[in-house]
Amino acid sequence: MQEEVGGLSSVFSRRILDNGINLYTCSTDKFKTITICAFIHQNLEKSTATKTALLPFVLKRGSLNFPNSRLISRYLEELYGADFGADIIKKGERQIIQFFIEVVNPKYTGAENNIIDEGLRLFKDIILNPLTEGSAFKKDYVEQEKDVLRRIIEALFNDKFNYAIERCFQEMCKGEPFSIYKYGSVTDLSEIGSENLYSFYKTVISSNPMDIFVLGEVDEEQIYVKLNGLFSFERKEKELAKTIMVKEVEQEKFVEEKQDVNQGKLSMGFRTGTRYGDEDFYALMVYNSILGGGPHSKLFQNVREKESLAYYAFSRLEKSKGLMLISCGIDFDKVEKTIDIVKKQIRDIKEGLFSDYEFESSKKSLINSLKEAADSPSMIISLYLDGIINGIEESIEEIIAKVQSVTKEDVVNVAQKIKLDTVYFLNKNSRGESL
């Protein structure tokens, strides 16, 4: 049994709709909005990644009862600016289609109609009643959205910060599904047409695992009845593959790429050998915080404060795949020096060379951000979804308790498993200075 602790309210109760869809509800008056999310899970695979990525783009263009974007936007504006969207998220080797709608609780706007019902009407129509021409999606929408998706995939190039991170993972996980970009690839777009995409949609909707979340001031029983009615369609759920965690590194790689840039971007990818669901995952969270989880961390203190090499220097975990990534923006000629300093920090933690201050600050900082996450509807849902994907359902309070019990020895133990795999450096073109 789970009890609410203090002001935390990240506890969902789970029910299963008649056709097997999981419904997670959490009734709370903490927020002024009611958030509804649907997640459709998919294996991250080259053959389906681009098609899967295109689905939310096409679906949100229009449905049977809301046939174009303009009508949808007008409808949302009438609902006091309800937020609605559909996108792709990637967690480990899972590609997830996300739909969400967030409506303002009518008690604050003075709205008379039942805003939740009106919101759900659109939400359901977009997911389940797409606009079709025969046995195909509306052709114009598919063609236009293929172009939009192409642009979005290519726009990663503009964002050097994320580009350098994504490229590091791609090089590091070559041959593993994790190297696939969440939006798929431009080359795979050409073979997608309105007909094959529609038949793909029908397979996905009827066989891929689906979770719905509702968070806000609602009657949980009523919401269950409503959603059970709205989402009653035939489905036969397939089982998805589990993300494969590679623990060993055959050979460290160094990859350099050159562009016309003003700052070098260094990314370092590691195999941690630990992922969410493992006993020692909470020790890894503390490890990561000590290494690069904020101003108290070794990377911030040594790369930025002591050596003035960078403005930002941090590490983060990919918790479903068991990876860790370090990122910093530096001068082009400082790459070797920076790598040396980073490696020393990693050696130090491995040898237990971190102070009580570093250890305690790291735990407190982690707990602080977990508690803060409980103040945000989207964070509450995202953290819970991470658990579901990794086969555990735990509340934020439970995560905090486990972080709290991590010892210095646990951190040193988990540190032994961490192996550098790939160093990626975005360098400037040798042709010289840009003007």
Among positions 274-333, residues that touch another protein (CB under 8 A) are: 294-296, 304-305, 308-312, 329-331
Whole-number Å distance between alpha carbons of 59 and 86 = 8
**Looking only at residues 208 through 267 of this chain, which bind another protein when binding is defined by CB under 8 A?**
259-263
Residue 54: count of CB within 10 angstroms of its CB: 25
Residue with tokens 């939006």: 183
- H/E run at residue 77: helix 69-78
| Among 32, 46, 344, 347, interactor with another protein by CB under 8 A | 32
Question: Least CB distance from residue 374 to another protein, whole Å?
Answer: 6
Question: Least CB distance from residue 376 to another protein, whole Å?
Answer: 7
Question: Least CB distance from residue 418 to another protein, whole Å?
Answer: 23
**Would you call 348 helix, strand, or coil by DSSP?**
helix
Asked if residue 299 lies in contact with residue 316, where contact means CB atoms within 8 angstroms, the answer is no
Q: Which is nearer to another protein, 320 or 327 (CB)?
A: 327
| Helices and strands in the chain: count of H runs, count of E runs | 15, 11
**Residue 109 burial by Cβ neighbours in a 10 Å radius (0-12, 13-18, 19+):** middle
Question: Least CB distance from residue 69 to another protein, whole Å?
Answer: 6
Could you say whether residue 64 binds another protein (CB under 8 A)?
no
Gyration radius (Cα) of the chain, Å: 23
Q: Which is nearer to another protein, 14 or 151 (CB)?
A: 151
Could you say whether residue 144 binds another protein (CB under 8 A)?
yes
- H/E run at residue 191: none
Could you say whether residue 73 binds another protein (CB under 8 A)?
yes
Whole-number Å distance between alpha carbons of 76 and 105 = 14
Question: Least CB distance from residue 107 to another protein, whole Å?
Answer: 8
Rounded to whole angstroms, what are the CA distances from 299 to 84, 149, 308, 346, 362? 38, 36, 11, 10, 13
Asked if residue 2 lies in contact with residue 11, where contact means CB atoms within 8 angstroms, the answer is yes
Q: Which stretch binds another protein (CB under 8 A): 67-75, 194-202, 275-283, 416-424?
A: 67-75
| Among 58, 76, 192, 324, interactor with another protein by CB under 8 A | 76
**Looking only at residues 7 through 26 of this chain, which bind another protein when binding is defined by CB under 8 A?**
7-9
Q: Which is nearer to another protein, 98 or 263 (CB)?
A: 263
Q: Which is nearer to another protein, 283 or 426 (CB)?
A: 426
The two structure tokens encoding residue 102: 């967030």
Kindly write down the DSSP assignment for every residue of 120-135, as one continuous string.
Answer: HHHHHHHHHSB-BSSS
**Looking only at residues 350 through 409 of this chain, which bind another protein when binding is defined by CB under 8 A?**
357, 360-361, 363-365, 367-369, 371-372, 374-377
Q: Which stretch binds another protein (CB under 8 A): 43-51, 68-76, 177-185, 225-233?
A: 68-76
Question: Least CB distance from residue 131 to another protein, whole Å?
Answer: 15
Size of the site for another protein (CB under 8 A): 75
Burial letters for 348-367: b for 16+ Cβ neighbours within 10 Å, e otherwise?
Answer: bbbeeebeeebbebbbebbb
Question: Least CB distance from residue 407 to another protein, whole Å?
Answer: 18
**Looking only at residues 145 through 174 of this chain, which bind another protein when binding is defined by CB under 8 A?**
147-148, 151-152, 154-155, 157-158, 160-161
| Among 2, 13, 69, 222, interactor with another protein by CB under 8 A | 69
**Residue 347 burial by Cβ neighbours in a 10 Å radius (0-12, 13-18, 19+):** exposed
**Residue 102 burial by Cβ neighbours in a 10 Å radius (0-12, 13-18, 19+):** buried
Question: Least CB distance from residue 140 to another protein, whole Å?
Answer: 8
Question: Least CB distance from residue 322 to another protein, whole Å?
Answer: 26
The two structure tokens encoding residue 362: 């790291």
